[in-house]
Amino acid sequence: MKRTIALLLILMALAASFAWLSLNHGRGYYQSSCEVNLNYSDSTEGDQYHFYGNLVFDFETNRTGQLYLSGSARSADQDYIFSRYVNFSYLNENNNRYRMAINKVNKIGHDSAPDEVAQKIYRVIGLVGGVYVYMERHRDGYILLGNMVSPVMTCVILS
């Protein structure tokens, strides 16, 4: 009898834990930090734009996150340094399809990139422009981020 009661209590605790996790940690939201080395070039707007840098994403299950963006960019024959924290929110609209939005940008002292230069890299990442970002976490230790037609970044999960 005591074993049955103990077993029932354990099962109830497991069920309550599972229910709490299901409600508070919504499906499709991550509790992960990951890192990307990004080398991106674009000349579609008549301006040779090149970004080389490091992005560290910190995704939270409460649908927010933080991005540390560091690196350098060249645009309109000018060189710029990126060093900033970008707070964002992300919404899982369907399966692995997300919308992201910038909440706040905090530039660190030596960041010299003006907003119009930063907007280009934000667009690639999916933080602006109203485009969907497709994210999928893989068991091999990475999150794949992309757009509707192709993968854009492989974000290696930090341990």
Question: Can you tell me the mean pLDDT for 15-29?
Answer: 51
Chain-centre distance of CA 23, in angstroms? 22
Residue 18 has a pLDDT of: 46
pLDDT at residue 13 greater than cutoff 90 = no
- Residue 7: the pLDDT is 53
Do 131 and 147 contact (CB within 8 A), yes or no?
yes
pLDDT at 9: 47
pLDDT band for position 28 (50/70/90)?
confident
Fold adopted by 32-157: Lipocalin (2.40.128)
In whole angstroms, give the CA distance from residue 56 to residue 158. 9
Q: What is the SS3 assignment for the chain? A: CHHHHHHHHHHHHHHHHHHHHHHHCCCCCCCEEEEEEEEEEECCCCCCEEEEEEEEEEECCCCEEEEEEEEEEEECCEEEEEEEEEEEEEEEEECCEEEEEEEEEEECCCCCCCHHHHHHHHHHHCCCCCCCEEEEEECCCEEEEECCCCEEEEEEECC
Give the phi and the psi of residue 7 in degrees, each rounded to 5.
-65, -40
Per-residue pLDDT tens over the stretch 81-123: 999 999 999 999 988 999 999 999 999 999 999 999 999 999 9
Q: Note the residue count of the chain.
A: 159
CA distance 104 to 64: 11
Domains of the chain by residue range = 1-28, 32-157
State yes or no: pLDDT of 3 exceeds 80. Answer: no
Q: What is the pLDDT of residues 118-148, one digit of tens each?
A: 999 999 999 998 889 999 999 899 999 998 8
pTM across the whole model: 0.79
